[in-house]
Structure 1
Amino acid sequence: MRSANPPGGPGDPSAAPAGAELALDGVRLGHHVGGAVPGTVGLHIAPGELLAVVGPSGCGKTTLLRTLAGLLPPLEGRVTQDGEPVRRPGADRAVVFQDDALLPWRSVRGNVELPLAIRRVHRSERRRRAQEWLERVGLGGHAHKLPHQLSGGQRQRVQLARALAGRPRAVLMDEPFGALDAHTRAGMQDLLVEILRGTGATVVFVTHDVDEALHLGDRVVLFGSGDVLDVPHPRAREARDAPATAALRRRVLDSL
């Protein structure tokens, strides 16, 4: 997922932090009031890896992401980042939701700047970084628009720019392209691959779409069974019908 980028840009490897190492050890997911996800989870996510998570509705995929983000404590077990317990949200773990979650009264640039403003990044620096990321996601000319003036795909681009502008070490993505049409979804997948190059970020990507998981992931977690499978040709669309990819697709579909 890494390649050269223009020096000084948002994907400049010299400016990018190393990806976070995330781990769950004997973790029981769930809510004290709403109940627990069956079984326990043991999972290691390597720095810089893109891990795709698939599974049937209601199996706990979103709960997994919320727990990794520090938004929801585990009922049992230990969640760590670089060996340290995850107890609360952190600025180096960004979350991207299916709902774009943009603030409707803030401009596109204002939305991208928001996490930087919360961290008290100087105004000139956060504007520079926001504009760089908007250019990179193809929305440089839309900075002054409001979210309602954009298409669904454009709003997801803004959300992606907002998440990455803060140079997170981990990006947790909960079906971010699930509401998009097939053409726009494929474009967003390609954009994600392109803009993650050089960031160094570790990515956990939840999806219902098996082909999306096999295109994006270095590995795929079959959530529920606990199987973790290597993807033979990650991020290579031309390998969609390769025998190894086709066999893995059948195995994932059978698990669902």
Structure 2
Amino acid sequence: MSIAPTPEPPATPSPPAGAALALDGVRLGHPDGAAVPGTVTLRIAPGELLAVVGPSGCGKSTLLRTLAGLLPPLDGQVTQDGEPIGRPAADRALVFQHDALLPWRTVRANVELPLAIRKVPRVERRRVADDWLDRVGLGGHAHKLPHQLSGGQRQRVQLARALAGRPRAVLMDEPFGALDAHTRAGMQDLLVEILRGTGATVVFVTHDVDEALHLGDRVLLLGAGQVLDVRHPREREAQHAPATAELRRRILESL
């Protein structure tokens, strides 16, 4: 008598590798408006979290929109994995300060949206959305509408929606800026937790120097044209270390 081998469980798809982003001699600005002074030349490694700080008007949000493909550079070239970025793409997700959830869609339906646009089957959309809602601690809120949630909860939904499509790059424009200090710290920790293992490259714009030092592998001082390495990213106890204090001083001076 022969015994049939036990079938192996289906393999869980590995997360996509993070995108390599690059700007070469890029001049930022709107075609019908003023240009941001100077040019930007920068390499962002796959899987890196680059925090971006700088004074108001230095082009932080413009940089994100250029990387997203929403705004063409006035000069120079922006690439992903060596290919020019000329338009938005599903593997680059934007996360804003204001959650931008669709008020008439439930929490689950909002998270499903990028998958629906890509015509992912309904059963799979629901499975992925429910998984991400569980990961951000909102598994019991799938049926609610956005106005029934707190500001921090809505930002969790926005984060789940951005990551549900398994992007290779996540571009975040002060996503926690409108939250109170306690909620903001919780969102920072949640971001660290759920990005671990996704492989995504993250560009994170913030006005908060301590947030930049906590989250970033490197910090780009956009107005000053400097990039600083962070010795202990994502370790809260490192905020009192001499090396962190020196980085904080240099960043504050640049602002």
- TM-score with structure 1 length normalisation? 0.95
2 CA distance for matches of 1:224 and 1:253? 12
Measured against aligned partners, the alpha-carbon deviations of 1:4-52 in whole angstroms (never above 9, x if no partner) come to xxx999xx6x420000000000001001111110111101000000000
The size of the alignment, in residue pairs, is 247
Measured against aligned partners, the alpha-carbon deviations of 1:133-177 in whole angstroms (never above 9, x if no partner) come to 000000000000000000000000000000000000000000000
Paired residue for 2:24? 25
Q: How has the CA–CA distance of structure 1 residues 216 and 8 changed in structure 2, closer, same or farther, with 3 Å as cutoff?
A: farther
Paired residue for 2:77? 78
Paired residue for 1:154? 153
Answering whether residue 101 of structure 2 is matched by residue 114 of structure 1, we say no
Answering whether residue 166 of structure 2 is matched by residue 167 of structure 1, we say yes
Point out where structure 1 has 5 or more consecutive residues left out of the alignment. 1-6
- Residue identity in the other structure for 1:42: T
2 CA distance for matches of 1:184 and 1:247? 27
Kept in 2: contact 1:55–1:222 (CA 8 A): yes
Paired residue for 1:124? 123
| DSSP-derived class of the 1:183 partner | helix
Measured against aligned partners, the alpha-carbon deviations of 1:166-191 in whole angstroms (never above 9, x if no partner) come to 00000000000000000000000000
Kept in 2: contact 1:8–1:15 (CA 8 A): no
| DSSP-derived class of the 1:47 partner | coil
**Within 5 A, what are the aligned runs for 1:9-48?**
14-48=13-47
2 CA distance for matches of 1:165 and 1:98? 19
- TM-score with structure 2 length normalisation? 0.95
Larger radius of gyration: 2
**Within 5 A, what are the aligned runs for 1:1-256?**
14-256=13-255
Which stretches of structure 1, 4 residues or longer, exceed 2 Å deviation after superposition? Answer: none
Give RMSD over aligned pairs: 1.3
| DSSP-derived class of the 2:19 partner | coil
Kept in 2: contact 1:96–1:174 (CA 8 A): yes
2 CA distance for matches of 1:133 and 1:195? 9
2 CA distance for matches of 1:59 and 1:184? 27
Kept in 2: contact 1:23–1:79 (CA 8 A): yes
Point out where structure 2 has 5 or more consecutive residues left out of the alignment. 1-8
2 CA distance for matches of 1:217 and 1:146? 33
Give, in angstroms, the shift of residue 58 of structure 1.
1.1
2 CA distance for matches of 1:20 and 1:180? 29
- Residue identity in the other structure for 1:87: G
- Residue identity in the other structure for 1:138: G
- Residue identity in the other structure for 1:126: R
Measured against aligned partners, the alpha-carbon deviations of 1:178-208 in whole angstroms (never above 9, x if no partner) come to 0000000000000000000100000000000
| DSSP-derived class of the 2:240 partner | coil
Give, in angstroms, the shift of residue 123 of structure 1.
0.5
| DSSP-derived class of the 1:44 partner | strand
